[in-house]
Structure 1
Amino acid sequence: MSPTLPMPFRPTRLLVLSGALWALGGCSFAPAPAAPEPLERLPEAFAEAESPGAYTPLRWWEGYGDPTLDRLIDTVLAANLDLVEAMSRVEESRALAGIATADLLPSLNGSASAGRSSNPNNAGFGRQIAALLGGASGDSTGAMPDSAAAAPPDRFESTDYSASLALSYELDFWGRARNDREAALRDLQASESDLQSAVLGVLAETITAYFDLSDLRQRIEVSREIVDVLRERAALTQTRYDRGLVGSFELYQIRQDLRNTEAALPQIEALLHDARGRLAVLAGRYPTELAPLLAETRLPSDPFADLPSSIPADLLWQRPDVRAAGLRLESARFRVGARRAELLPRLSLTGTLGLQSAEADGLFDLSQWFSNLTTGLTAPLFQGGRLRANVRAQEARWVQQSAAYGRTVLTAVAEVEAALARHRLERERFAFLTSQLDEASASVDLQSRRYSSGVAGYADYLDALRTRLTVQSTLSAASRDYALSRLGVHRALGGSWLDGAAVPPAPPTASDGPAGGLDASDSSDAPAGALDASNHSDAPEGSFLP
């Protein structure tokens, strides 16, 4: 009876089957995108946006019109260590995204080996060969034949050379690797938004410290002038007291005002050194290195009153923290799909192609090729509940990110409204103090003329001069506060207020889900407490949850 030959292996059948499975492998278990409830009630414009204007620079700090500030910011952006740290986090996220992308691709490894083996004929591999040779003599027990001519050698030796390529690939049938990749890409984009947040924060700290420095310098100068006036006024009062023209109370009152002003000067100078130190740290320099750049600083004399007449709420999407929160919500959503896919079997392909020879010279003989192609299916049968716990944990993170996103949007709207209101009120305060300074200057001129004509005394002139200097110091602080209120609007809006064409797009909605994702109206596969915007019947009042 002829032996039955095995069915020849046809790799094409396996490839066709794998291709069919790949074509069907568009499944994704990521839940449908769902926006937090506060986004549905987002106003179209902010209530406090009311003054006309068309200020739209991308380098928005140039609106202060201060070349020294512009040079300082360029220095800070080039050397700030916080930004270096934030940029390295972006590179880390980019590398992690590359790792996640690599899981979608086949892995190819090359290997080469050379080996020589030597085995006795009565043990191990040598015994097996000896038994086979002994079978030819008719000994059914496999014992060694007695004939010396038929006796095998005492040792069996062999040499083997091989070189091969090994290919392995997991068919992402359930979308596990694709969802992990999408999540990693969203994390990368969120880290880029974090970098923009860091830039905005560094700019705000730099501008604040710069205007603090300018205000403190001006206040020190004015305070010294007030001290000079009070000393002259105290000397005049002392003379009048010696003549019996005034009582001791007036003399003591003037001296007390003088001592209070003198005592405040060291405190202001300490704040000045603190502002210099803050700027030096922001610029990545030592204070002495930054001193030449800060030799001349100033406050805006009339800080801008040109906010746009209507600021759309869509500008919130240019806030880096809002974008980052939305992207992290999307990342958590995709990771839910990836963890769900881990509950299902994995299909993998492995293949090897190489050359093998007993002689080194024959290693590159193409007739010495060998190959192997296999497919494998791995299913998680029992993991002690670990995989399902991973799914529940990731679903909980998804809900957390949705709540964080809604809170970030609400906070952003509140900050913009507060910043716009503060800018309006600081502008009014600045206008009032400017008028007060004009009136105080007019009073000084009047008292100077009255003293020159002999109608009023010199003390009246000194009192008027002191009042003007006090108002001037208050106006300096008001100018700083007004300029920083403008900064507050920039920071609340994430930079400048651009025209509509330049506004970044809003975060993804339900129509932007992954291919094969669940429909937004179907929440049957969503996690418990998932944020489906179409269903809020079970949510507690004020909750973002459905």
Structure 2
Amino acid sequence: MSRTFPVQPLLLSSVLMLSACSVGPDFQKPQGPGNAKWSVLQGQAAASRPEPWPVEERWWDLFHDTQLSALVRRVVTSSLDIKIASARLQQSRAARQTIAADQYPSLDAGIGYERARNSSKGLSDPSDKGVKSAFNLWEGDFTAAWELDLWGRVQREVEAADASVEVAENDRRMVLLSILAETARDYIQLRGVQSTLAVTRENLDVSRHSLKLSQMRLADGIATNLDVAEAAAQVAAVEARLPSLEQRQAQLINALSLLLAEPPRALQAELEQPAQVPQTPQHFAIGLPSELAERRPDVRQAEARLHAATAGIGVAKGDFYPRIRLSGNVGFQSMQLSDFGSWGSRQFAIGPQLSLPIFEGGRLRGMVKLREAQQQEAALDYQQVVLRAWHEIDDVLSVYNASQLRRDRLAEAVRQNRIALETAQSQYVEGAVDFLNVLTVQSALLANQEQLVESSTTVSLAMVGLYKSLGGGWQSIYPLATADAGTTD
């Protein structure tokens, strides 16, 4: 319950002379790990290593793949997810504008006409013979009102709204960062599948050659039907790998089409031509740990949520203080249109009002406790987001290093498998070994070649994951995205 009282001019003047203040705690920016260092990798270090140089914002250009870079530029202006996030950002800014309007006076104008008659049985004087007569009433006025924000409650509301806008901005940045990473991942996986297809078709040619060789030896009476059957089974087994790989290729092309807001198979002609998996550079920059909080949108967003929660405490505490509202009305009222606007038809009302909460049943105190608990949750969430970011970076660095070492060893295994296959084929022709040895070596070669492609793909995917975890990419391309969305950063 609250009571509203008229305020005398002398009392109002005294109140206005008080220094304006803002209730509630002021937001303190969380301190990041100022002197922290990246974790040192355990074990053998791979050839491509991170360096503490400034982070390359356009990290997709590090792959030196013009088609990948072109897809990234296109997805920024075409992605529906980015446009949806931009719409949410515009909503947040509009909501902030609505809240900020409480800082300023409001001014309204109105004009009206009505035909009326008083009741003879109501509050009018029964002796008045004119009460039953209908009359015209013309009215027009200007009304102004302004709530004085002496305690800073509205200021805290605007502060919380500004923080909410920052939350929406960083949500959009997270969407943009995720879309950039997803585009690069799908593209790299597509090239990996195409490389696997090339390896499989190469092995299919080898298997068919072995089948012809066994058939020729059977015709010469050197081989047996068992050799031919085993060779034919090997051909069929390799051929069986092709449909699933081709289906996966079509699926990834469609995934990229969806990111670009294109219909299925729209990029088929553009991307079905095989290309190598994009390779990572020998050295790459990961920046300084102290810069992480400024780069990662999720950390910035968690900080903004903490800011909004802190300002919310001030809003809740502001409800304990009186509200002073200045209002005024000036206009004209007449029963004849010819008199409307004349000096005699003028009317006005002006004066302040004070509203003071007296008894609310504990609602106000409960709201303060709620806002304080929400601030504690936001502070813990910020710590968790920062800690999760450190874990992500450390994990991706480990994956990147380990996948490089695995790739290099698989490359050596493939080289030795090729030598072994050539030797086994020569010995089979000479009759030194049976055909089972050839099949065994060929199967090992195919398996290691597929693993080599998969490992090379994993290396490049780890690079994408690393720059996503570092929060790089949205900074340089964000102006292009905001221009498309009609917003500014």
- Which structure 1 residue ranges, 5 or more long, are not aligned? 1-10, 131-151, 500-546
Residues 382/256 of structure 1: CA separation in 2 closer, same or farther (3 Å cut): farther
Tell me the equivalent position of 1:168.
145
1:103 Cα offset (Å)? 1.8
1:469 Cα offset (Å)? 5.6
Work out whether 1:107 is the aligned partner of 2:106. yes
1:241 Cα offset (Å)? 6.6
Aligned residues: 462
Contact 1:186 1:330 in 2 (8 A): yes
Tell me the equivalent position of 1:84.
83
Work out whether 1:395 is the aligned partner of 2:389. no
- TM-score norm. by structure 1 comes to 0.74
Residues 479/67 of structure 1: CA separation in 2 closer, same or farther (3 Å cut): same
CA RMSD of superposed structures (Å): 3.8
Tell me the equivalent position of 1:493.
470
Provide Cα deviations, 1:63-89, integer angstroms capped at 9, x if missing partner: 222122122223322222212221111
Q: Distance in 2 between matches of 1:60 and 1:371?
A: 67
**Equivalent position SS for 1:286:** coil
Q: Distance in 1 between matches of 2:190 and 2:251?
A: 9
Work out whether 1:213 is the aligned partner of 2:205. no
**Equivalent position SS for 1:287:** coil
Work out whether 1:29 is the aligned partner of 2:6. no
Of the candidates 399, 405, 409, which is equivalent to residue 382 of structure 2? 405
Work out whether 1:45 is the aligned partner of 2:37. yes
Contact 2:55 2:472 in 1 (8 A): no
Contact 1:174 1:341 in 2 (8 A): yes
Q: Which has the larger radius of gyration?
A: 1
Residues 164/400 of structure 1: CA separation in 2 closer, same or farther (3 Å cut): same
Tell me the equivalent position of 1:127.
125
Tell me the equivalent position of 2:65.
66
Contact 1:56 1:498 in 2 (8 A): no
1:402 Cα offset (Å)? 1.3
Contact 1:169 1:348 in 2 (8 A): yes
Q: Distance in 2 between matches of 1:277 and 1:394?
A: 46
Residues 497/434 of structure 1: CA separation in 2 closer, same or farther (3 Å cut): farther
Q: Distance in 1 between matches of 2:78 and 2:268?
A: 16
Tell me the equivalent position of 2:174.
197
Of the candidates 333, 339, 343, which is equivalent to residue 356 of structure 1? 333
Q: Distance in 1 between matches of 2:309 and 2:131?
A: 67
Contact 2:278 2:460 in 1 (8 A): no
- Which structure 2 residue ranges, 5 or more long, are not aligned? 1-5, 42-48, 477-489
Tell me the equivalent position of 1:181.
158
1:28 Cα offset (Å)? 2.3
1:363 Cα offset (Å)? 2.4
**Equivalent position SS for 1:379:** strand
Tell me the equivalent position of 1:267.
244
Residues 52/405 of structure 1: CA separation in 2 closer, same or farther (3 Å cut): closer
Residues 434/191 of structure 1: CA separation in 2 closer, same or farther (3 Å cut): same
Residues 18/48 of structure 1: CA separation in 2 closer, same or farther (3 Å cut): farther
**Equivalent position SS for 2:299:** helix
Residues 84/328 of structure 1: CA separation in 2 closer, same or farther (3 Å cut): same
Higher helix share: 2
Of the candidates 342, 352, 376, which is equivalent to residue 319 of structure 2? 342
1:62 Cα offset (Å)? 1.9
Tell me the equivalent position of 1:480.
457
Tell me the equivalent position of 1:278.
255
- TM-score norm. by structure 2 comes to 0.81
Alignment of 1:362-441 (within 5 A): 362-366=339-343, 368-437=345-414
Q: Distance in 1 between matches of 2:363 and 2:475?
A: 49
Tell me the equivalent position of 2:213.
236
Residues 119/183 of structure 1: CA separation in 2 closer, same or farther (3 Å cut): closer
Contact 2:211 2:231 in 1 (8 A): yes
Contact 1:73 1:206 in 2 (8 A): yes
Contact 2:195 2:274 in 1 (8 A): no
Contact 1:35 1:402 in 2 (8 A): no
1:254 Cα offset (Å)? 4.8
